[in-house]
């Protein structure tokens, strides 16, 4: 029966009761975040109808043209979470600098970093988008955090999660002890527990990568993808499926539900950017979720959660998903760096690229 279901609010409270040092402020903050995600879900479901009267957009700090719903989602998250007294500051993909909590609101002990609308390039074609968030502790004794106070490695995260806005709205959360999925029930207006204890299969035959960038990849990535495409006739001895949605939230959600590998690897397309995805509010929260679900997350050369951030909008390569596949790619990178990998001679990625001619 619906009234017997565990709501997200109840789940968080019960989880805090089980800990030796409960944090009421964290419970309140996560409730504010879920409220913001409900509001964003409504705006995303309305599409162009939600953009009435004109929304001012600009090129954000990432050099990307904002969509109106990017701005709307950012305003919702800030407005919903700033007043509750749990936060000392916020960082968003859509803001150049950390957001200071207005003086009229009390300050709290947490920092919130988030991507208000991941995959916004999919909005116009009605594909899944989402919100990614990470919760950090503000350094002891700091009530007005500076930029440096946010630069904490992913291992310092208190909680991480995402909301996905698709045929149904879902919120996936980890508090450091497993990963759990909650589906928004429109009848009662609450996220309810539908996917407890989500785990990622260690083996997979599915990968997601933007193959249009293959000419810019490093040899270890080319080697891995080539082996997957060769299928049963190649060294892997099995056929693989390839997926690409161009929304990190959607890619990660698929991996959590049925396994797989997602990567946006280092490439030479723009040598000023060491990676495509942002460390603090994309890679770190998703890496925490992956590891808590039994998967792995790496740049190819190091564990993502151990990277010491150098800037709030820092970019990194990302390879995450089923553990055995991530470990294989890490090994390929190590062999390449050591010069012990086999020569890369396959014709698949030469001038003919993916399409062979007779």
Note the pLDDT tens digit of each residue in 165-179: 999 999 999 999 999
Of 148, 176, 195, which residue constitutes the final position of a domain?
195
355 domain residue, yes or no = no
Give the CATH number of the domain where residue 338 resides.
3.40.190.80
**Full residue range of the structural domain in which residue 297 is found:** 206-349
Number of H helices, E strands in the chain: 8, 15
Residue 57 domain flag: yes
Q: How far is CA 63 from CA 18, 94, 313, in A?
A: 44, 10, 11
In a shared domain, residues 187 and 302: no
| Domain presence at residue 356 | no
- Domain closes at, from 140, 174, 195: 195
> What pTM did the predictor assign?
0.90
Residue 201 lies in a domain: no
> Do 143 and 180 have their domain in common?
yes
| 115 in Cβ contact with 132 (< 8 Å) | yes
Half-sphere exposure of 344 (CA within 13 A, CB side): 19
The number of folded domains in the chain is: 2
From the number of C-beta atoms within 10 Å of its C-beta (0-12, 13-18, 19+), residue 178 rates as: middle
8 and 51 together in one domain: yes
Question: Could you tell me if 189 and 229 lie in one domain?
Answer: no
- Indicate whether 357 belongs to any domain: no
pLDDT digits (tens, 9 = 90+) for 259-293: 999 999 999 888 888 899 999 999 999 999 999 99
Mean pLDDT, to the nearest integer, of 349-355? 50
Q: How confident is the model at residue 59 (pLDDT cuts 50, 70, 90)?
A: low
- Per mean pLDDT, which range of 213-227, 314-328, 333-347 is the poorest? 333-347
Domain boundary among 168, 195, 222: 195
Give the CATH number of the domain where residue 128 resides.
3.30.540.10
Q: State the angle between helix axes of 24-46 and 68-81 in degrees (0 to 180), rounded to the nearest 10.
A: 150
Q: What is the DSSP letter of 88?
A: E
- On whether residue 354 sits in a domain, the answer given is no
Asked if the model's pLDDT at residue 58 lies above 80, the reply is no
């Amino acid at each position: 029966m619906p009234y017997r279901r565990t709501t997200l609010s109840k789940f968080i409270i019960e989880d805090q009761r089980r800990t030796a040092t409960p944090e009421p402020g964290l419970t309140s903050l996560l409730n504010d975040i879920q409220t913001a995600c409900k509001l964003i879900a409504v705006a995303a479901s309305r599409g162009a109808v939600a953009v009435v009267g004109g929304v001012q957009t600009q090129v954000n700090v990432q050099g990307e043209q904002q969509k109106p719903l990017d701005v709307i989602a950012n305003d919702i998250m800030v407005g919903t979470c700033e007043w509750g007294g749990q936060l000392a500051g916020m960082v968003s993909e859509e803001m150049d600098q950390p957001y200071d909590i207005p003086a009229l609101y009390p300050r709290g002990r947490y920092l919130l970093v988030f991507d208000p609308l991941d995959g916004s390039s999919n909005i116009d074609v009605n594909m899944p988008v989402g919100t990614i968030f990470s919760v950090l502790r503000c350094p002891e004794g700091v009530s007005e955090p500076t930029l440096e106070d946010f630069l904490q490695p992913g291992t310092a995260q208190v909680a991480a999660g995402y909301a996905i806005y698709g045929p149904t709205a879902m919120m996936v959360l980890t508090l450091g002890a497993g990963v759990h999925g909650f589906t928004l029930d429109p009848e009662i207006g609450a996220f309810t527990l539908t996917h407890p204890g989500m785990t990622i299969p260690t083996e997979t035959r599915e990968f997601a990568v933007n193959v249009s960038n293959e000419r810019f990849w490093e040899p270890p990535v080319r080697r891995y993808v080539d082996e997957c495409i060769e299928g049963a006739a190649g060294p892997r001895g099995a056929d693989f499926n390839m997926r690409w949605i161009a929304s990190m939230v959607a890619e990660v959600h698929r991996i959590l539900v049925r396994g797989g590998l997602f990567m946006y690897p280092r490439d030479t397309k723009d040598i000023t950017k060491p990676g495509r995805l942002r460390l603090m509010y994309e890679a770190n929260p998703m890496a925490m979720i992956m590891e808590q679900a039994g998967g792995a997350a790496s740049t190819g050369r190091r564990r993502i959660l151990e990277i010491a951030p150098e800037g709030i909008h820092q970019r990194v390569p990302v390879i995450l998903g089923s553990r055995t596949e991530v470990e294989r790619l890490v090994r390929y990178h190590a062999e390449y760096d050591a010069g012990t990998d086999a020569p890369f001679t396959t014709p698949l990625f030469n001038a003919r690229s993916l399409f062979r001619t007779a």
